[in-house]
Amino acid sequence: MGNNALALVELGAVFFALGVLGRLAGRFGMSPIPLYLIGGLAFGSGGVIRLDVAGGEFSHVAAEIGVVLLLLLLGLEYTAPELVTGLRRSWPAGLLDVVLNSTPGAVVALILGWGPVGALAMAGVTYISSSGIVAKVLTDLGRLGNRETPVVLSILVFEDLAMALYLPILTAILAGVGWLGGLKALGIALFVITFVLVVALRMGHYVSWIVDSSDREVFLLKLLGAALLVAGIASFLQVSAAVGAFMLGIAISGTTARDAAKLLEPLRDLFAAMFFVVFGLSTDPASIPPVLGWAIVLAVVTTATKIATGWWAASRQRVAKMGRARAGVALVARGEFSIVIAGLAVTAGVVENELAALATTYVLLMAVIGPTAARFVEPVVRWVQRSKGDPREAGKDPFFAG
């Protein structure tokens, strides 16, 4: 069989397997991310089957496009006014979130001897919740209209803005320019974010007009071309391609944003799946057992800290106890951003390769724990109240019912 034919067969097998894994995840009501990562582990070095095409140049470019589309569609979910309002509303909870959830990752990295750069990377891995998983869980469980949901979304907005500042610093430091270069990258990022927010607030309709089209093919080409152009320019400025795509998404508003999200969702799912697979390929399964214990420790600790963050944030908005519990568990899942951060660190080659194994194992655990906890939080809380003999169960006490 010729090289081209073999490549097509292998690539087709990868895509088909990803489709099967995605359907399997849907049957169990969980995110497909853990299964995609496991698929990458199975196809890579040290896995059950090694597929050369899966680790080739096409796969790596597809993975980069996946990151761009993930962040572009995340930006399309927000408008500039929503970002500003969310930041004003959520900044105290957002700061608590940073402290509680970045510290465990940084501490473990230092204990393992990965140095300040490894600590900075692991802090981001354990800090950021998965907006994609959270949004899917809230939709699947019918909680978009709940009182605690605006609190959850506000915290996610704060985290996304924090990432817009964090990623340029991390990228600059990984590139070897040091902390001074990181501060310079931060200054550039602040300027870019401010500029984009001003453009989105004042001239967002012009940006939407430029990319909009009644022809789906032209619309798709404009969107994808603009996203890749902005991501490439942002990367050149050391602001991070992911952040560039996110900010472009914010600048597109109104019906154009809604139409763009519908049009790009299938492409995002396709390329994002390749991104998770390629990250799994970079991790040797044999490197997971040595870090499994630390991954479990981080999973337990950061599950508790995310729940505490959501509970406290919801209590500030006078949400009832059940709503506070739902807000807390909604934030537990980690996913795409954590893998992006770990991927940047490992690709740069300035941190230990074990970081990829730890991040993969940690995300696998959290991407399962998060949706599972969200699904079972209500019966568990009710059972705890009944076991205490508390008559104030859901439906009897409005404060407890949420």
Mean pLDDT, residues 168-179 taken together:
76
3-state secondary structure of 218: helix
pLDDT in tens, 247-281: 788 788 788 888 898 888 888 888 878 777 777 77
Q: What whole-number distance in Å separates Cα of residue 185 and Cα of residue 169?
A: 6
Would 31 be classed as within a structural domain? no
Contact assessment for residue 153 and residue 124, using Cβ atoms and an 8 Å cutoff: no
> Is 75 within a domain?
yes
Range of the domain at 311: 56-385
pLDDT value at residue 261: 86
Q: What's the distance, Cα to Cα, between the start and end of the chain in Å? A: 62
Up-side HSE of residue 91: CA atoms within 13 Å toward CB?
5
What tokens appear for 327 in the block?
């807000």
pLDDT at 218: 93
pLDDT on residue 71: 74
Return the structure tokens found at 111: 């204990």
Q: How high is the pLDDT of residue 165? A: 79
Please state which of the ranges 214-228, 259-273, 385-399 shows the lowest mean pLDDT.
Answer: 385-399
- Name residues whose C-beta falls within 8 Å of residue 248's C-beta, 6 or more positions apart in sequence: 72, 75, 196, 226, 227, 230, 231
Among residues 148, 137, 150, 155, which one has the least CA distance to residue 97? 155
> pLDDT-derived band of residue 399, with 50, 70 and 90 as boundaries?
very low
In a domain, 39, yes or no: no
- Give the pLDDT score at 397: 45
Residues 118 and 145 sit within 8 Å (Cβ to Cβ): no
| Average pLDDT for 339-362 | 82
Q: Tell me what pLDDT residue 206 has.
A: 80
- pLDDT tier for residue 303 given thresholds of 50, 70 and 90: very high
pLDDT-based confidence at 59, cuts 50/70/90? low
Sign of CA dihedral 131, 112, 97, 181: negative
Report the CATH number at residue 272. 1.20.1530.20
Considering 196-210, 276-290, 299-313, 357-371, the range whose residues carry the highest mean pLDDT is 299-313
In a domain, 18, yes or no: no
Domain count, the chain: 1
Does 28 fall in a domain?
no
Mean pLDDT of all residues in 48-67: 66
DSSP string, 220-282: HHHHHHHHHHHHHHHHHTTS-HHHHHHHHHHH--HHHHHHHHHHHHHHHHHHHHHHHHHHHHT
Residue 46 lies in a domain: no
Q: What is the pTM of this model?
A: 0.74
pLDDT tens digit sequence for 140-161 = 777 877 888 888 878 887 887 7
